Amino acid sequence: MPTLLSGLRTVFDRPAPETLAQPDETKHSATRQVIALQTPAGPVWTPRDYAALARNGFMRNVIAYRCIRLVAEAAASIPFAVTCKGEAMAEHDHLRLLKAPNPDQSGTALMEDVYGYLQTAGNAYVEAVRLDGTLRELYALRPDRMKVRAGRDGWPGGYDYEAGGRRTGFRRDGDGFMPVLHLKLFHPLNDHYGLAPLEAAGNAVDIHNAACSWNKALLDNAARPSGALIYNGPADAANLTADQFERLKSELQETYQGQTNAGRPMVLDGGLDWKPMSHSPAELDFIEAKHSAARDVALAFGVPPQLLGIPGDNTYANYREANLAFWRQTVLPLAGRAASALSGERSARLDRIMQTDCLTDREKRLALGFPANPETESDDE
């Protein structure tokens, strides 16, 4: 199984010194002190309710939660590598940055956030903080707070981040540096935002949640089907009075419902008789409906049901085969997508620098993030 992903040399296109300078105490993420910006073009608002998906899916549904955690943790465990001429470099500024992207997170924690946002929202945003032209820190930003701002040609021209009623804008600066990297999954009907697996699994998540609620309601009512109290009183008093009805209903709720009252014998008087109301097996077969919905949720995230302990699926012969398919079909393609996004402008950056006549060979190597002396590079390898 491959453990290295190459091509991170130009992660955010910036000139770098031979060694990464120590973080300056005055720098900070732009989203920590948000300022208001006004530009002519209007934002393109996300068409989904991210908060509802996060609450009903990730926060309330155990299957969706476990799927997202499995995918995010597995993909984040894959280490990135910087390569030169096909050989992995032992030391590089980007490697140090990816291991400790900011004061509050490790590189693994940052990538878990990125992959988790992709699974939940279909979008993930990484902010790059520079100081004196040098990339110093990386932050994963909440996708529901980020809005794409379309340019004159309709394609993204920048981003607006809103939090606490305040807004900051991200635009390309004079040297073409974009401080936000937008990763997104394929969406057939949207040019600016991706489609999350959690949204595709929305119906199955609702069914699974409803089955859990049904089961909870049965437990709250002594885990038995409901019934009816039949009044068999005298013919001249065929109905209970309003006071008798309310008193009876109150006594039933307080004395006979709930787990602590399960099995308590019911004492009836005044011509009352209890008649259980049975349900058909199909009406009570919520367990199979729950398992079916769980398999659909797992399918949307690309997680074999065997890894989640869901019965009724024998696609793979054993746990090991299911785990191998999970890595090959879900984890590695997702990590590869992230690596490609991080190194997306590599060729264009390389061409611009190599065709510039005003730079020396040493300056070109530094601009690409390599040691100034090729002999130093050979020694590191």
- The mean pLDDT value for 145-174 works out to 89
Name the least confident of 29-43, 151-165, 290-304, 322-336: 29-43
Could you give the strand order of the β-sheet that contains 180-184, starting from the edge strand earlier in sequence?
A: 134-141, 123-131, 180-184
Q: Which letter does DSSP use for residue 47 in this model?
A: S
State the average pLDDT for the chain.
77
Whether 202 shows a pLDDT value over 80: the answer reads: yes
Buried b (16+ CB within 10 A) or exposed e, 111-136: bbbbbbbbbbbbbbbbbbbeeeeebb
pLDDT band at 215 (very low <50, low <70, confident <90, very high): confident
The closest alpha carbon to 307, from 78, 70, 76, belongs to 70
Please give the helix or strand (H or E) that residue 220 lies within, else none: helix 202-220
At residue 343, what is the residue type?
A: S
pTM of the model: 0.70
At residue 295, what is the residue type?
A: R
Facing residues of 102 across strands? 105
Q: What pLDDT digit, counting tens, does each position of 261-283 carry? A: 555 666 666 667 766 666 555 55
Q: How far is CA 248 from the centre of its chain?
A: 50
The closest alpha carbon to 198, from 324, 345, 303, 331, belongs to 303
Rounded distance, CA 189 to CA 185, Å? 12
Which residues are CB-neighbours of 187 under 8 A, at least 6 positions away?
A: 122, 193, 194, 195
Determine contact, residues 192/177, Cβ cutoff 8 Å: no
pLDDT band at 236 (very low <50, low <70, confident <90, very high): low
Q: What pLDDT digit, counting tens, does each position of 66-105 carry? A: 999 999 999 999 998 888 777 888 888 888 899 999 999 9
Rounded distance, CA 233 to CA 314, Å? 58
Q: So what's the pLDDT on residue 303?
A: 97
The closest alpha carbon to 370, from 95, 117, 23, belongs to 95
pLDDT band at 326 (very low <50, low <70, confident <90, very high): very high
Whether 318 shows a pLDDT value over 70: the answer reads: yes
Angle 345-351-355 from CA coordinates, rounded to 5°: 150
